């Protein structure tokens, strides 16, 4: 007979995980292999769609049931679907520039709700997704179409419990390495999906990489404003190879986040084992096939009340957060 699940620590204010589950989550390399589910055949038209189970894992660590998750670059809704399949569904608000992707999300969510109503749960994947089978409840999820920079302004300060998002990773450059004779020879490896819109408000259409970093810095400042003090943001970021050099996009965005008060707390490497390999530099030079993404964990540190008799001058906004002074669990 299976052992009963251990209870969470009584002082755990962040999530509903027990000690073993908490520890497992903190590994800095993740590999995932999830089945095609929750309308994946439709969602894959968006080349950067994220697995709902991956998002659920993040959401279950950084929130409790019914708390509010925000995804300002929601695409076809990986984060919202993740919130809907959490053990104890969370509320989720997504922003997405393209109405096309919002429609895909709406269709997939309606289908999954009908299946859940008919008693069809998501399969138990064992150790690939601990916690047994999952149900689907998207009643607390909403996707708004528009420019995240404008929609964020409508959100009150400190109104969000967790941000989970993957922004456009960079500005879009014309195809170079993947064109030409090799691309003809390896035509079966070309992709047929779309990620970038023609909309000038699409961050991927900015003039260059510095402009992209500047726009992201403004958005990160807004994300800090809307997050409750002590709460987290997980930013999924892919490094890039452009103009003949490697761009450390993950590190660059983590540094920008720190300048606006979202303190970098961790960098989980998400290894995507199924990534297609392309012969970019072959047979002359080394060009990487980037098969990993960064899950940057950022935190709006708790606001500290100055101690009696203290000027408060020794610890600024970027000081160490609660729970990091030797005690095991962070509290907000």
Ligand X SMILES: C[S@@+](CC[C@H](N)C(=O)[O-])C[C@H]1O[C@@H](n2cnc3c(N)ncnc32)[C@H](O)[C@@H]1O
Residues that bind ligand X (CB under 6 A): 46, 48-50, 73-76, 78, 95-98, 101, 147-149, 166-168, 197, 201-203
Q: How far is the CB of 266 from ligand X (least distance, A)?
A: 20
Q: How far is the CB of 97 from ligand X (least distance, A)?
A: 4
Q: Name which of 97 and 262 has its Cβ closer to ligand X.
A: 97
Q: Name which of 234 and 257 has its Cβ closer to ligand X.
A: 234
Closest CA to 330 of 299, 322, 63, 67: 322
Q: How far is the CB of 144 from ligand X (least distance, A)?
A: 9
202 neighbors 97 (Cβ within 8 angstroms) = yes
Strands of 68-71's sheet in order across: 29-31, 263-271, 292-299, 227-237, 160-165, 68-71, 91-96, 141-145
Q: Name which of 59 and 76 has its Cβ closer to ligand X.
A: 76
Q: How far is the CB of 222 from ligand X (least distance, A)?
A: 12
269 neighbors 294 (Cβ within 8 angstroms) = yes
Closest CA to 259 of 304, 203, 213, 327: 213
Residue 85 exposed, middle or buried by CB count within 10 Å (0-12, 13-18, 19+): buried
Q: How far is the CB of 212 from ligand X (least distance, A)?
A: 10
Q: Cis link prior to 283 (omega < 30° from 0)? A: yes
Q: Name which of 67 and 166 has its Cβ closer to ligand X.
A: 166
**What is the phi-psi region of residue 64: left when phi exceeds 0, alpha when psi lies from -120 to 50, beta otherwise?**
beta
Q: Name which of 148 and 223 has its Cβ closer to ligand X.
A: 148
Q: How far is the CB of 257 from ligand X (least distance, A)?
A: 17
Q: How far is the CB of 49 from ligand X (least distance, A)?
A: 4
Backbone angles phi, psi at 126, to 5 degrees: 65, -135
Q: Name which of 7 and 33 has its Cβ closer to ligand X.
A: 33
Q: Name which of 142 and 303 has its Cβ closer to ligand X.
A: 142
110 vs 120: CA distance, rounded Å? 14
Q: Name which of 17 and 81 has its Cβ closer to ligand X.
A: 81
Q: Which two tokens stand for residue 235?
A: 């930013």
Beta-carbon contacts of residue 16 (< 8 Å; ≥ 6 apart): 8, 60, 64, 65, 87, 88
Q: How far is the CB of 259 from ligand X (least distance, A)?
A: 20
Q: How far is the CB of 90 from ligand X (least distance, A)?
A: 16
241 neighbors 247 (Cβ within 8 angstroms) = yes
Q: Name which of 13 and 205 has its Cβ closer to ligand X.
A: 205
């Amino acid at each position: 007979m299976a052992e009963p699940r251990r209870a969470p620590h009584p002082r755990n204010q962040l999530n509903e995980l027990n000690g073993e589950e908490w520890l497992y989550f903190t590994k800095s390399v993740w590999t995932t292999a999830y089945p095609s589910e929750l309308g994946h055949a439709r969602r894959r038209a968006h080349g950067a769609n994220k697995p709902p189970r991956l998002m659920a894992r993040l959401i279950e660590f950084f929130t409790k049931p019914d708390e509010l998750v925000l995804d300002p670059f929601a695409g076809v809704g990986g984060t919202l679907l993740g919130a809907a399949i959490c053990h104890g569904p969370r509320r989720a608000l997504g922003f997405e520039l393209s109405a096309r992707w919002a429609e895909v999300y709406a269709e997939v969510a309606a289908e999954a709700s009908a299946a859940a109503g008919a008693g069809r749960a998501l399969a138990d994947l064992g150790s690939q997704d601990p916690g047994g089978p999952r149900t689907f409840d998207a009643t607390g999820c909403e996707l708004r179409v528009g420019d995240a920079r404008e929609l964020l302004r409508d959100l009150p300060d400190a109104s969000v419990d967790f941000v989970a998002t993957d922004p456009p990773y960079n500005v879009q450059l014309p195809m170079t390495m993947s064109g030409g004779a090799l691309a003809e020879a390896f035509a079966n490896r070309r992709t047929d999906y779309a990620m970038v819109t023609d909309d000038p408000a699409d961050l991927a259409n900015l003039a260059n990489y510095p402009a992209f970093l500047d726009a992201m810095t403004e958005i990160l400042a807004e994300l800090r404003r809307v997050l409750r003090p002590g709460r987290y943001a997980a930013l999924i970021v892919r490094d890039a190879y452009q103009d003949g050099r490697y761009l450390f996009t993950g590190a660059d965005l983590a540094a920008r986040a720190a300048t606006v008060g979202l303190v970098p707390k961790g960098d989980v490497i998400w290894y995507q084992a199924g990534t297609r390999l392309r012969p970019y530099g072959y047979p002359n030079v080394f060009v990487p096939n980037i098969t990993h993404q960064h899950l940057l964990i950022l935190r709006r540190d708790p606001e500290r009340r100055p101690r009696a008799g203290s000027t408060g001058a020794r610890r600024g906004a970027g000081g160490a957060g609660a729970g990091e002074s030797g005690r095991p669990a962070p509290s907000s």
